[in-house]
Chains A and B, each alone.
Chain A
Amino acid sequence: KQEVTQIPAALSVPEGENLVLNCSFTDSAIYNLQWFRQDPGKGLTSLLLIQSSQREQTSGRLNASLDKSSGRSTLYIAASQPGDSATYLCAVRDAGGAQKLVFGQGTRLTINP
């Protein structure tokens, strides 16, 4: 059974810093991995999707990497801003035809002005 873990559970950093959020998964047979952002009381906004054949994806100040063999992904946020404060979730879709996403518990990020 696939399990996804995100460390740390919470992170607080000053504005302007570069930071890395970590995600690990137990079964390396994945189809893709997705990073989401969730603001309080809201649904999930997709940030980046990495297919199993890819190593990384970039969007603006965000860069996500995938090391499938070691079961790890990182989300790198450059030049953090207070508006980046949110909970960040990673989710994997297993290979083999299943369509569901298996989520980590999230990292609650606070960027201090």
Chain B
Amino acid sequence: GAGVSQTPSNKVTEKGKYVELRCDPISGHTALYWYRQSLGQGPEFLIYFQGTGAADDSGLPNDRFFAVRPEGSVSTLKIQRTERGDSAVYLCASSFVGGPQHFGDGTRLSIL
């Protein structure tokens, strides 16, 4: 079956712009996660959704970052007033609660 789908695969934008990154989880997975991976590092947790609600947003670095999952399926990660330090690969994962997390290929975000 289809895996986790993330769009776009690459995004280049200028400092100060607003970006949206989309994640389409595996059908039936109620849990959805966002991580950020810098070059040469392991992924770092950003936020976890159980259904429509953000059950844990402790990893969001500041209030420029926000994520939604209005219908309990697709999620959008939103970054306002982007900074060069936001450049990274943003990974999305989904799972059944307590089950192994399945990852998408990520969105490579570059802030010029």
Enumerate chain A interface residues (CB-CB to B < 8 A): 4, 6, 34, 36, 41-46, 49, 89, 91, 98-106
B40 within 8 A of A: yes
**In the bound complex, what is the Cα–Cα distance between A49 and B102 (angstroms)?**
12
The answer to whether A99 and B42 have CB atoms under 8 Å apart is no
Query: Can you name the residue of chain B whose Cβ is closest to the Cβ of A48?
Result: B100
CB distance from A54 to the nearest CB of B (A): 14
The segment from B11-19, B72-80, B103-111 that touches chain A is: B103-111
A53 to chain B, nearest CB (A): 14
Bits for B78-112, please: 1 = Cβ < 8 Å to A, else 0: 00000000000001010001101111111010000
Closest to A44 in B: B103
**Is the Cβ of A4 less than 8 Å from the Cβ of B42?**
yes
Q: How would you classify the secondary structure of chain A's contact residues: helix, strand, loop or mixed?
A: strand
Q: How large is the interface on B (under 10, 10 to 19, 20 to 34, 35 or more residues)?
A: 20 to 34
Q: How far apart sit A100 and B56, CA to CA, in the bound complex (Å)?
A: 8
> Is B42 in contact with A106, judged by CB distance below 8 angstroms?
yes
Whether B31 sits at the interface, judged by CB under 8 Å, is yes
Query: In the complex the two chains form, is A46's CB within 8 Å of B55's CB?
Result: no
Please give, as numbers and ranges, the residues of chain B lying within 8 Å of A105 by CB-CB distance.
Answer: 40-42
Contact in complex: B42, A103 (CB < 8 Å)? yes
Alpha-carbon distance A44/B90, docked complex (angstroms): 12
Besides A43-B106, A99-B56, A101-B101, 4 other A-B contacts (C-beta < 8 A)? A6-B42, A41-B105, A43-B104, A99-B33
